[in-house]
Structure 1
């Protein structure tokens, strides 16, 4: 047994144990920390599977955005004294455990009953990969063969930010999301907020551009841009924009709308919805990716900022 195999077995055991611990632990903060660690370890598993694109997304969303949102929710629940809710009864817990076991068994059975060799569209995808002009197989699949899924993911992000904004009181609607952050203008945080964003913006754009041929893409680049924006906000060097700004709303809908327009054009002049003419496939995909990186960066940043709670004026 090689060292790599031993490492993978230990990693799988740790991930499984951490997942169980995250479910059974009673403290919300401890469960959230466990969830963040779980997301980072899952990202490491994706790296071991040579899916670096998926690993970057998992680390940014599962270990980053999701963890921060859960920590914020836990803090609000603690402040509202809601944490002392009733503990589920034994019947409810036993039913949940039984349902979990049955679900696990059904998934294991479905995997074991797959035909050998398993059905796959990989040969067809590889044979037609030339049509998009993209060398990165992951980006190729996401933007061509699974373009509908990719477009709907951006729609889900848009619906998520609408849901967060709907939590705002009527008096604050149209105002700025989240509190106004203050930091020492001569402190370390302000120094980093001035130093890192220029580098982060370049890295984010590079991650977008290199996604055509190497691991990367709009989601990973957008997560980096969002983190740089949030850093300047937390350091007090910038403020969240009022949600009533038209340019902000335009950025939020730019990615899904452009994706939909390209899909409809493909339906009218091509073979099917979201079909790209081979001569224009790469420029169209690049245009969609540019619009999506702006939408993703703005949406992730605003999701962390929360619902509007302040006046639009400074």
Structure 2
């Protein structure tokens, strides 16, 4: 047995044990920490599978932004935990366990019963990659062969932020989301925000820009930019804009809006909806990705900030 195989077996065992522990632990905060660690280990597994793009997304979303969201929820639920005495009954637990085992067995059986080699459209996508001018096969697939799915994902983000904003009371509508964070301007958090935010912004832009030819892309870069924004907000160095801001709303719909415009142009002047002329394919895709990274970063940051609950007036210390 090679060292790589032994490492992969150990990693799978640790991941399985951590997943079980995250489910059975009773404390919300402990389960959240376990979930964040689980996401980081899954990202490492994707690296071992040579899926660097998926690993970047999992680390940014599964281990990063989702962890921040769940930690905030756990902090709010901490006072209510002692009051929650009701626990799932044995029948419900047994049913959930049985369904989990059945799902695992179904997935394992499906993988084992696949023909060898498994059916794949990879050769066709590689053969037609020249039409977009993109060297990264993942970005090529997402922006060309699965362009409809990618566009609808941005629509889902817009619907998600509308759903969060709809939870605001009428008196706060149009105001700023979430509480105004106050931190010691000379403390560790403010120091880290001043130190890491500029570096993180550069890294986020680089990850986005290099996605055309190397692992990366708009979603990964947008998630990093959103993290830097949230870090500056939690350190009290920045504040969320009011939801009534027209530029903010334009940014939120920029990704899906530009995608739709390009798609309709392909329908009117090209071969089909969301088709690109080979001579213009790469500039159009890069333009869409610029709009998408702005939409993704802004939407993720606002989703984690929460519903409007403060005045739209600028905060003064």
**TM-score, length-normalised on structure 2?**
0.95
Aligned twin of 1:98: 98
- Greater than 6 Å deviation, 4+ residue runs: none
Matches of residues 251-262 of structure 1 in structure 2 within 5 Å? 251-262=251-262
SS in 1 for 2:78: helix
* Kept in 2: contact 1:167–1:307 (CA 8 A): yes
User: What is the number of residues matched between the two proteins?
Assistant: 314
Q: Distance in 1 between matches of 2:188 and 2:13?
A: 39
Matches of residues 161-172 of structure 1 in structure 2 within 5 Å? 161-172=161-172
Aligned twin of 2:175: 175
Q: Distance in 1 between matches of 2:78 and 2:200?
A: 34
Q: Distance in 2 between matches of 1:200 and 1:101?
A: 41
Matches of residues 145-224 of structure 1 in structure 2 within 5 Å? 145-224=145-224
Aligned twin of 2:306: 306
Shift, 1:80, TM fit:
4.5
CA-to-aligned-CA distance 1:150-201 (integer Å, 9 cap, x gap): 1122222222212211221121111111111112222333233333333322
- 281-290 or 227-236, larger mean C-alpha shift: 227-236
Aligned twin of 1:113: 113
Aligned twin of 2:72: 72
Shift, 1:237, TM fit:
1.6
Aligned twin of 2:237: 237
CA-to-aligned-CA distance 1:115-173 (integer Å, 9 cap, x gap): 22211101100000011000111111111111122112222222221221122112111
* Kept in 1: contact 2:252–2:295 (CA 8 A): yes
Q: Distance in 2 between matches of 1:8 and 1:81?
A: 37
CA-to-aligned-CA distance 1:63-90 (integer Å, 9 cap, x gap): 0111111121222223445861511111
- 78-87 or 300-309, larger mean C-alpha shift: 78-87
Q: Distance in 2 between matches of 1:191 and 1:32?
A: 26
Q: Distance in 1 between matches of 2:85 and 2:295?
A: 38
Q: Distance in 2 between matches of 1:278 and 1:217?
A: 21
* Kept in 2: contact 1:77–1:83 (CA 8 A): no
* Kept in 2: contact 1:151–1:259 (CA 8 A): yes
| Structure 1: runs of 5+ lacking an equivalent | none
Aligned twin of 2:132: 132
* Kept in 2: contact 1:189–1:235 (CA 8 A): yes
Q: Distance in 1 between matches of 2:245 and 2:182?
A: 23
| Structure 2: runs of 5+ lacking an equivalent | none
SS in 2 for 1:309: strand
Shift, 1:293, TM fit:
0.6
CA RMSD of aligned residues (A): 1.5
* Kept in 2: contact 1:270–1:276 (CA 8 A): yes
Shift, 1:96, TM fit:
1.2
Shift, 1:280, TM fit:
0.6
